[in-house]
Amino acid sequence: MARKYFGTDGIRGQVGKGYITPDFVLRLGWAAGRVLGGGRSDSKVLIGKDTRISGYLFESALEAGLVAAGVGTRLLGPMPTPGIAYLTRTLHAQAGIVISASHNPHQDNGIKFFSGDGDKLPDEVETAIEAELEKPMSTVGSVDLGKASRVDDAAGRYIEFCKSTIPSRMDFSGMRIVVDCANGATYHIAPNVFEELGATVYPIGVSPDGLNINHEVGSTHPQTLQREVLARGADLGIALDGDGDRLIMVDGKGELVDGDRILYVLALSRLAAGQMRGKVVGTLMSNLGLEHALKRHDIGLSRTQVGDRYIMERLKREDWILGGEPSGHIICRDRTTTGDGIVSALQVLAEIYQSGKSLAELHAGMSLYPQELINVRVDGEAATVMRHPGMLDAIGQAESELDGSGRVLLRPSGTEPLIRVMVEGREGRQVREIAEQLADVVRGLVDARRP
Protein backbone atom coordinates (compact mmCIF):
# COMPACT_ATOMS: atom_id res chain seq x y z
CA MET A 1 0.00 0.00 0.00
CA ALA A 2 1.33 3.45 -0.92
CA ARG A 3 2.16 5.53 2.14
CA LYS A 4 1.55 9.25 2.45
CA TYR A 5 4.19 10.21 5.01
CA PHE A 6 6.79 7.45 5.40
CA GLY A 7 9.57 6.99 2.86
CA THR A 8 12.10 4.17 2.71
CA ASP A 9 13.76 5.39 5.91
CA GLY A 10 11.21 7.27 7.98
CA ILE A 11 10.07 10.84 7.37
CA ARG A 12 12.65 13.44 6.38
CA GLY A 13 12.75 16.99 5.05
CA GLN A 14 13.69 20.60 5.69
CA VAL A 15 12.91 21.92 9.15
CA GLY A 16 9.74 24.00 9.20
CA LYS A 17 8.47 22.71 5.88
CA GLY A 18 6.31 19.79 4.78
CA TYR A 19 6.00 17.27 7.58
CA ILE A 20 9.06 18.41 9.56
CA THR A 21 7.13 20.87 11.71
CA PRO A 22 6.35 20.89 15.45
CA ASP A 23 2.61 20.40 14.99
CA PHE A 24 3.01 17.42 12.67
CA VAL A 25 5.66 15.78 14.86
CA LEU A 26 3.40 16.25 17.89
CA ARG A 27 0.62 14.40 16.08
CA LEU A 28 3.11 11.79 14.84
CA GLY A 29 4.18 11.09 18.43
CA TRP A 30 0.54 10.72 19.45
CA ALA A 31 -0.28 8.44 16.48
CA ALA A 32 2.81 6.31 17.07
CA GLY A 33 1.95 6.05 20.76
CA ARG A 34 -1.56 4.85 19.92
CA VAL A 35 -0.20 2.12 17.65
CA LEU A 36 3.00 1.13 19.46
CA GLY A 37 1.80 1.53 23.04
CA GLY A 38 -0.99 -0.97 22.51
CA GLY A 39 -2.99 0.38 25.44
CA ARG A 40 -0.46 -0.97 27.97
CA SER A 41 -0.04 1.14 31.12
CA ASP A 42 3.63 0.06 31.37
CA SER A 43 4.48 0.81 27.73
CA LYS A 44 7.59 2.86 26.96
CA VAL A 45 9.16 4.34 23.86
CA LEU A 46 12.74 5.62 23.66
CA ILE A 47 13.62 8.91 21.96
CA GLY A 48 17.16 9.70 20.82
CA LYS A 49 18.54 12.37 18.53
CA ASP A 50 21.65 13.60 16.77
CA THR A 51 23.23 17.00 17.49
CA ARG A 52 21.38 19.31 15.09
CA ILE A 53 19.75 22.29 16.78
CA SER A 54 16.19 21.34 15.80
CA GLY A 55 16.49 18.07 17.74
CA TYR A 56 15.41 19.81 20.95
CA LEU A 57 12.27 21.09 19.25
CA PHE A 58 11.19 17.72 17.88
CA GLU A 59 12.21 15.80 21.01
CA SER A 60 9.75 17.92 23.01
CA ALA A 61 7.01 17.51 20.40
CA LEU A 62 7.38 13.73 20.24
CA GLU A 63 7.46 13.47 24.03
CA ALA A 64 4.26 15.50 24.34
CA GLY A 65 2.47 13.40 21.71
CA LEU A 66 3.48 10.10 23.26
CA VAL A 67 2.54 11.22 26.76
CA ALA A 68 -0.84 12.45 25.50
CA ALA A 69 -1.43 8.96 24.08
CA GLY A 70 -0.66 7.40 27.48
CA VAL A 71 2.79 6.08 26.57
CA GLY A 72 5.82 6.31 28.85
CA THR A 73 8.82 8.03 27.31
CA ARG A 74 12.55 7.58 27.97
CA LEU A 75 14.81 10.33 26.63
CA LEU A 76 18.29 9.24 25.55
CA GLY A 77 19.68 12.61 24.44
CA PRO A 78 22.30 12.63 21.65
CA MET A 79 22.76 9.01 20.63
CA PRO A 80 23.79 7.27 17.39
CA THR A 81 20.97 5.66 15.45
CA PRO A 82 22.37 2.11 15.96
CA GLY A 83 22.73 2.87 19.68
CA ILE A 84 19.04 3.69 19.86
CA ALA A 85 18.24 0.40 18.11
CA TYR A 86 20.38 -1.48 20.64
CA LEU A 87 18.89 0.25 23.68
CA THR A 88 15.34 -0.24 22.42
CA ARG A 89 16.00 -3.97 22.40
CA THR A 90 17.87 -4.26 25.69
CA LEU A 91 15.60 -1.93 27.68
CA HIS A 92 12.59 -3.91 26.44
CA ALA A 93 10.87 -0.84 25.02
CA GLN A 94 7.97 -1.12 22.61
CA ALA A 95 9.79 1.09 20.10
CA GLY A 96 12.65 3.52 19.61
CA ILE A 97 12.40 6.84 17.80
CA VAL A 98 15.37 8.54 16.14
CA ILE A 99 15.38 12.28 15.42
CA SER A 100 17.97 12.65 12.68
CA ALA A 101 18.55 13.46 9.04
CA SER A 102 21.65 11.26 8.99
CA HIS A 103 24.30 12.71 6.63
CA ASN A 104 22.21 15.76 5.62
CA PRO A 105 23.06 19.33 6.73
CA HIS A 106 21.58 20.95 9.83
CA GLN A 107 18.69 22.54 7.88
CA ASP A 108 17.12 19.08 7.52
CA ASN A 109 15.76 16.68 10.09
CA GLY A 110 13.70 13.52 10.18
CA ILE A 111 11.97 10.91 12.29
CA LYS A 112 12.49 7.16 11.99
CA PHE A 113 11.42 4.25 14.14
CA PHE A 114 12.75 0.95 15.44
CA SER A 115 10.58 -1.91 16.65
CA GLY A 116 11.08 -3.52 20.05
CA ASP A 117 13.49 -5.97 18.39
CA GLY A 118 15.75 -3.15 17.18
CA ASP A 119 14.64 -3.55 13.55
CA LYS A 120 13.03 -1.06 11.19
CA LEU A 121 9.24 -0.99 11.57
CA PRO A 122 7.32 -3.32 9.26
CA ASP A 123 5.33 -1.62 6.50
CA GLU A 124 2.03 -2.57 8.08
CA VAL A 125 2.92 -0.80 11.34
CA GLU A 126 3.91 2.37 9.48
CA THR A 127 0.61 2.14 7.60
CA ALA A 128 -1.26 1.85 10.91
CA ILE A 129 0.52 4.96 12.24
CA GLU A 130 -0.47 6.85 9.09
CA ALA A 131 -4.10 5.81 9.62
CA GLU A 132 -4.02 7.23 13.17
CA LEU A 133 -2.56 10.48 11.84
CA GLU A 134 -5.76 11.04 9.90
CA LYS A 135 -7.81 11.03 13.12
CA PRO A 136 -8.41 14.01 15.44
CA MET A 137 -5.85 14.09 18.25
CA SER A 138 -7.11 13.52 21.77
CA THR A 139 -5.54 13.22 25.21
CA VAL A 140 -6.03 10.43 27.71
CA GLY A 141 -7.19 11.32 31.24
CA SER A 142 -4.62 12.65 33.70
CA VAL A 143 -4.39 9.34 35.54
CA ASP A 144 -3.47 7.57 32.29
CA LEU A 145 -0.90 10.05 30.95
CA GLY A 146 2.49 8.60 30.11
CA LYS A 147 5.49 9.49 32.27
CA ALA A 148 8.75 10.84 30.90
CA SER A 149 12.27 10.39 32.26
CA ARG A 150 15.88 10.45 31.06
CA VAL A 151 18.17 7.44 30.67
CA ASP A 152 21.35 8.78 32.26
CA ASP A 153 23.67 5.89 31.38
CA ALA A 154 22.66 5.49 27.71
CA ALA A 155 26.09 6.33 26.29
CA GLY A 156 27.90 4.01 28.68
CA ARG A 157 25.58 1.11 27.89
CA TYR A 158 26.15 1.51 24.16
CA ILE A 159 29.92 1.87 24.52
CA GLU A 160 30.06 -1.47 26.34
CA PHE A 161 27.92 -3.10 23.66
CA CYS A 162 30.22 -1.87 20.89
CA LYS A 163 33.27 -3.29 22.66
CA SER A 164 31.49 -6.61 23.15
CA THR A 165 31.27 -7.18 19.37
CA ILE A 166 34.95 -8.18 19.21
CA PRO A 167 36.83 -10.74 21.36
CA SER A 168 37.73 -9.38 24.80
CA ARG A 169 41.36 -10.45 24.39
CA MET A 170 41.95 -7.89 21.64
CA ASP A 171 43.99 -4.86 22.61
CA PHE A 172 44.62 -2.12 20.08
CA SER A 173 47.59 -0.62 21.93
CA GLY A 174 50.05 0.81 19.44
CA MET A 175 47.37 1.68 16.87
CA ARG A 176 47.18 5.38 16.01
CA ILE A 177 43.70 6.24 14.77
CA VAL A 178 42.05 9.46 13.65
CA VAL A 179 38.32 9.33 14.47
CA ASP A 180 36.02 11.82 12.70
CA CYS A 181 32.59 12.04 14.35
CA ALA A 182 31.09 14.58 11.90
CA ASN A 183 30.12 16.82 14.84
CA GLY A 184 27.26 14.37 15.19
CA ALA A 185 25.76 11.84 17.55
CA THR A 186 28.93 9.79 18.09
CA TYR A 187 31.06 12.72 19.33
CA HIS A 188 30.95 11.55 22.98
CA ILE A 189 31.00 7.83 22.21
CA ALA A 190 33.28 6.77 19.35
CA PRO A 191 36.57 8.19 20.72
CA ASN A 192 35.89 6.51 24.06
CA VAL A 193 35.25 3.12 22.43
CA PHE A 194 38.60 3.03 20.65
CA GLU A 195 40.54 4.58 23.53
CA GLU A 196 39.15 2.05 26.00
CA LEU A 197 40.39 -0.71 23.68
CA GLY A 198 43.92 0.71 23.88
CA ALA A 199 44.26 2.76 20.70
CA THR A 200 45.78 6.22 20.56
CA VAL A 201 42.92 8.34 19.24
CA TYR A 202 43.07 11.72 17.51
CA PRO A 203 39.44 12.92 17.49
CA ILE A 204 38.06 15.45 15.02
CA GLY A 205 34.48 16.56 14.42
CA VAL A 206 33.73 16.31 18.14
CA SER A 207 32.60 19.89 18.84
CA PRO A 208 28.93 20.03 17.82
CA ASP A 209 27.20 23.40 18.04
CA GLY A 210 23.86 22.42 16.53
CA LEU A 211 24.73 23.86 13.13
CA ASN A 212 28.00 22.18 12.10
CA ILE A 213 26.82 18.56 11.85
CA ASN A 214 28.31 16.96 8.70
CA HIS A 215 29.82 20.33 7.69
CA GLU A 216 33.11 19.58 5.90
CA VAL A 217 33.68 16.59 8.18
CA GLY A 218 32.47 13.00 8.48
CA SER A 219 31.88 10.25 5.96
CA THR A 220 30.48 12.63 3.33
CA HIS A 221 33.62 14.80 3.46
CA PRO A 222 36.45 12.29 3.93
CA GLN A 223 39.09 14.67 2.55
CA THR A 224 39.35 16.20 6.03
CA LEU A 225 40.11 12.76 7.47
CA GLN A 226 42.64 11.97 4.72
CA ARG A 227 44.60 15.14 5.48
CA GLU A 228 44.57 14.47 9.21
CA VAL A 229 45.73 10.85 8.85
CA LEU A 230 48.72 11.94 6.77
CA ALA A 231 49.51 14.91 9.03
CA ARG A 232 49.45 12.71 12.15
CA GLY A 233 51.24 9.77 10.57
CA ALA A 234 48.33 7.65 11.81
CA ASP A 235 47.79 4.00 10.94
CA LEU A 236 44.26 4.66 9.71
CA GLY A 237 41.25 6.93 9.95
CA ILE A 238 37.58 6.33 10.73
CA ALA A 239 34.86 8.69 9.48
CA LEU A 240 31.28 8.38 10.70
CA ASP A 241 28.25 10.37 9.59
CA GLY A 242 25.96 12.57 11.66
CA ASP A 243 23.92 9.73 13.15
CA GLY A 244 26.66 7.09 13.24
CA ASP A 245 25.29 4.46 10.89
CA ARG A 246 27.79 5.06 8.06
CA LEU A 247 31.50 4.29 7.97
CA ILE A 248 34.21 5.39 5.56
CA MET A 249 37.86 4.62 6.36
CA VAL A 250 41.27 5.91 5.27
CA ASP A 251 44.38 3.73 5.28
CA GLY A 252 47.83 4.81 6.45
CA LYS A 253 48.73 5.97 2.95
CA GLY A 254 45.80 8.37 2.93
CA GLU A 255 43.80 6.27 0.46
CA LEU A 256 40.03 6.22 0.79
CA VAL A 257 38.45 2.90 1.81
CA ASP A 258 34.76 3.10 0.91
CA GLY A 259 31.91 0.80 1.86
CA ASP A 260 32.65 -1.68 -0.94
CA ARG A 261 36.25 -2.10 0.18
CA ILE A 262 35.19 -2.43 3.80
CA LEU A 263 32.74 -5.17 2.78
CA TYR A 264 35.57 -6.98 0.97
CA VAL A 265 37.80 -6.87 4.08
CA LEU A 266 35.00 -8.09 6.34
CA ALA A 267 33.92 -10.87 4.00
CA LEU A 268 37.44 -12.27 3.83
CA SER A 269 37.79 -11.91 7.59
CA ARG A 270 34.61 -13.92 8.18
CA LEU A 271 35.74 -16.47 5.58
CA ALA A 272 39.12 -16.96 7.27
CA ALA A 273 37.40 -17.43 10.63
CA GLY A 274 34.96 -19.97 9.18
CA GLN A 275 32.05 -17.64 9.93
CA MET A 276 31.00 -16.54 6.44
CA ARG A 277 27.45 -17.57 5.62
CA GLY A 278 25.90 -17.23 2.17
CA LYS A 279 26.50 -14.25 -0.08
CA VAL A 280 27.42 -10.64 0.55
CA VAL A 281 24.50 -8.30 -0.16
CA GLY A 282 25.21 -5.09 -2.03
CA THR A 283 23.08 -2.77 -4.14
CA LEU A 284 22.77 -1.83 -7.77
CA MET A 285 25.48 0.77 -7.08
CA SER A 286 28.03 -1.67 -5.59
CA ASN A 287 31.22 -1.56 -7.63
CA LEU A 288 31.87 -4.35 -10.12
CA GLY A 289 35.34 -4.62 -8.62
CA LEU A 290 33.78 -5.88 -5.38
CA GLU A 291 31.82 -8.56 -7.22
CA HIS A 292 34.90 -9.80 -9.07
CA ALA A 293 37.15 -9.69 -6.00
CA LEU A 294 34.67 -11.70 -3.93
CA LYS A 295 34.21 -14.20 -6.76
CA ARG A 296 37.92 -15.03 -6.63
CA HIS A 297 37.26 -16.32 -3.11
CA ASP A 298 34.07 -18.17 -4.10
CA ILE A 299 31.86 -15.60 -2.36
CA GLY A 300 28.82 -14.40 -4.26
CA LEU A 301 27.41 -10.86 -4.38
CA SER A 302 23.64 -10.41 -4.36
CA ARG A 303 22.36 -6.96 -5.40
CA THR A 304 19.25 -5.15 -4.15
CA GLN A 305 17.70 -1.75 -4.74
CA VAL A 306 19.61 1.18 -3.28
CA GLY A 307 18.92 1.53 0.44
CA ASP A 308 20.00 -0.29 3.60
CA ARG A 309 16.37 -1.27 4.21
CA TYR A 310 16.46 -3.53 1.16
CA ILE A 311 19.84 -4.95 2.13
CA MET A 312 18.54 -5.94 5.54
CA GLU A 313 15.41 -7.49 4.05
CA ARG A 314 17.57 -9.71 1.79
CA LEU A 315 19.92 -10.65 4.63
CA LYS A 316 17.04 -11.66 6.88
CA ARG A 317 15.18 -13.57 4.19
CA GLU A 318 18.26 -15.61 3.23
CA ASP A 319 19.76 -15.74 6.75
CA TRP A 320 23.02 -14.20 5.52
CA ILE A 321 25.21 -11.99 7.68
CA LEU A 322 27.01 -9.27 5.71
CA GLY A 323 25.87 -6.46 3.44
CA GLY A 324 26.31 -2.78 2.70
CA GLU A 325 26.55 0.15 0.33
CA PRO A 326 29.48 2.10 -1.14
CA SER A 327 28.36 5.09 0.95
CA GLY A 328 29.34 3.20 4.10
CA HIS A 329 26.12 1.64 5.38
CA ILE A 330 27.59 -1.66 6.56
CA ILE A 331 25.41 -4.30 8.20
CA CYS A 332 27.12 -7.00 10.25
CA ARG A 333 24.03 -9.01 11.04
CA ASP A 334 26.03 -11.47 13.12
CA ARG A 335 26.85 -8.62 15.51
CA THR A 336 23.86 -6.25 15.54
CA THR A 337 20.45 -5.53 14.03
CA THR A 338 21.19 -2.48 11.89
CA GLY A 339 23.95 -0.58 10.12
CA ASP A 340 26.48 0.59 12.71
CA GLY A 341 29.58 2.62 11.87
CA ILE A 342 31.41 2.01 15.15
CA VAL A 343 30.71 -1.74 15.21
CA SER A 344 31.77 -2.10 11.57
CA ALA A 345 35.01 -0.21 12.24
CA LEU A 346 35.73 -2.51 15.17
CA GLN A 347 35.34 -5.54 12.91
CA VAL A 348 38.00 -4.11 10.59
CA LEU A 349 40.33 -3.32 13.49
CA ALA A 350 39.83 -6.85 14.80
CA GLU A 351 40.98 -8.24 11.45
CA ILE A 352 44.03 -5.95 11.49
CA TYR A 353 44.84 -7.27 14.97
CA GLN A 354 44.20 -10.89 14.00
CA SER A 355 46.07 -10.87 10.68
CA GLY A 356 48.91 -8.53 11.56
CA LYS A 357 48.31 -6.72 8.27
CA SER A 358 47.69 -3.03 7.69
CA LEU A 359 44.39 -1.74 6.32
CA ALA A 360 46.15 -1.00 3.01
CA GLU A 361 47.28 -4.63 2.79
CA LEU A 362 43.82 -5.95 3.64
CA HIS A 363 42.01 -4.11 0.84
CA ALA A 364 44.81 -4.49 -1.71
CA GLY A 365 43.14 -7.56 -3.24
CA MET A 366 40.26 -5.46 -4.54
CA SER A 367 40.47 -2.83 -7.27
CA LEU A 368 37.58 -0.44 -7.84
CA TYR A 369 36.46 -0.21 -11.44
CA PRO A 370 36.16 3.32 -12.88
CA GLN A 371 32.56 4.46 -12.45
CA GLU A 372 30.82 7.46 -13.99
CA LEU A 373 27.47 8.74 -12.70
CA ILE A 374 25.52 11.45 -14.55
CA ASN A 375 22.18 12.83 -13.37
CA VAL A 376 19.80 14.01 -16.10
CA ARG A 377 16.73 16.06 -15.15
CA VAL A 378 13.47 14.77 -16.62
CA ASP A 379 10.04 16.29 -17.18
CA GLY A 380 7.27 13.79 -16.57
CA GLU A 381 7.60 10.07 -16.06
CA ALA A 382 11.18 8.80 -16.05
CA ALA A 383 10.06 5.23 -16.71
CA THR A 384 8.62 6.24 -20.12
CA VAL A 385 11.99 7.60 -21.22
CA MET A 386 13.83 4.53 -19.93
CA ARG A 387 11.49 2.15 -21.83
CA HIS A 388 11.76 4.06 -25.11
CA PRO A 389 13.09 1.86 -27.98
CA GLY A 390 15.80 4.43 -28.72
CA MET A 391 16.97 4.26 -25.11
CA LEU A 392 16.96 0.46 -25.09
CA ASP A 393 18.98 0.40 -28.32
CA ALA A 394 21.54 2.81 -26.85
CA ILE A 395 21.89 0.70 -23.72
CA GLY A 396 22.35 -2.44 -25.81
CA GLN A 397 25.07 -0.76 -27.88
CA ALA A 398 26.84 0.46 -24.72
CA GLU A 399 26.82 -3.03 -23.23
CA SER A 400 28.21 -4.39 -26.47
CA GLU A 401 31.07 -1.90 -26.35
CA LEU A 402 31.91 -2.92 -22.78
CA ASP A 403 32.00 -6.54 -23.99
CA GLY A 404 31.25 -8.15 -20.62
CA SER A 405 33.86 -6.13 -18.72
CA GLY A 406 31.50 -3.50 -17.35
CA ARG A 407 27.96 -2.51 -16.41
CA VAL A 408 25.33 -0.04 -17.53
CA LEU A 409 22.61 1.07 -15.11
CA LEU A 410 19.84 3.58 -15.64
CA ARG A 411 17.46 4.20 -12.76
CA PRO A 412 15.02 6.93 -11.72
CA SER A 413 15.85 8.85 -8.57
CA GLY A 414 13.56 8.11 -5.66
CA THR A 415 13.67 11.69 -4.38
CA GLU A 416 14.20 14.00 -7.38
CA PRO A 417 12.98 14.25 -11.01
CA LEU A 418 16.17 12.68 -12.33
CA ILE A 419 17.37 9.69 -14.30
CA ARG A 420 20.69 8.47 -12.97
CA VAL A 421 23.02 7.15 -15.68
CA MET A 422 25.79 4.94 -14.32
CA VAL A 423 28.49 3.20 -16.34
CA GLU A 424 31.27 1.03 -14.97
CA GLY A 425 34.19 -0.66 -16.73
CA ARG A 426 37.90 -1.35 -16.80
CA GLU A 427 38.93 1.73 -18.80
CA GLY A 428 38.09 5.13 -17.32
CA ARG A 429 38.10 6.97 -20.65
CA GLN A 430 35.71 4.49 -22.25
CA VAL A 431 33.43 4.62 -19.21
CA ARG A 432 33.20 8.42 -19.35
CA GLU A 433 32.51 8.43 -23.09
CA ILE A 434 29.75 5.82 -22.87
CA ALA A 435 28.13 7.58 -19.90
CA GLU A 436 28.07 10.88 -21.80
CA GLN A 437 26.61 9.19 -24.87
CA LEU A 438 23.80 7.61 -22.84
CA ALA A 439 23.13 10.88 -21.00
CA ASP A 440 22.83 12.65 -24.37
CA VAL A 441 20.27 10.06 -25.49
CA VAL A 442 18.26 10.65 -22.33
CA ARG A 443 18.40 14.44 -22.84
CA GLY A 444 17.27 14.03 -26.45
CA LEU A 445 14.30 11.89 -25.46
CA VAL A 446 13.36 14.34 -22.70
CA ASP A 447 13.51 17.28 -25.15
CA ALA A 448 11.39 15.35 -27.67
CA ARG A 449 8.63 14.88 -25.06
CA ARG A 450 8.37 18.60 -24.31
CA PRO A 451 5.46 20.41 -26.00
Which residues are annotated as catalytic?
A: 102
- Distance between CA atoms of 211 and 342, rounded to whole angstroms? 23
- How is 131-192 classified by DSSP, letter by letter? HHHTSPP----GGG---EEE-TTHHHHHHHHHHHTS-TT---TT-EEEEE-TTSTTTTTHHH
- Distance between CA atoms of 242 and 298, rounded to whole angstroms? 35
- Distance between CA atoms of 191 and 171, rounded to whole angstroms? 15
Tell me the backbone φ, ψ of residue 214, rounded to 5 degrees: 65, 10
- The 3-class SS string of 221-284 reads CCHHHHHHHHHHCCCEEEEECCCCCEEEEEECCCCEECHHHHHHHHHHHHHHCCCCCCCEEEEC
DSSP 199: -
- Distance between CA atoms of 394 and 392, rounded to whole angstroms? 5
Bridge partners of residue 448, in order along the sequence: none
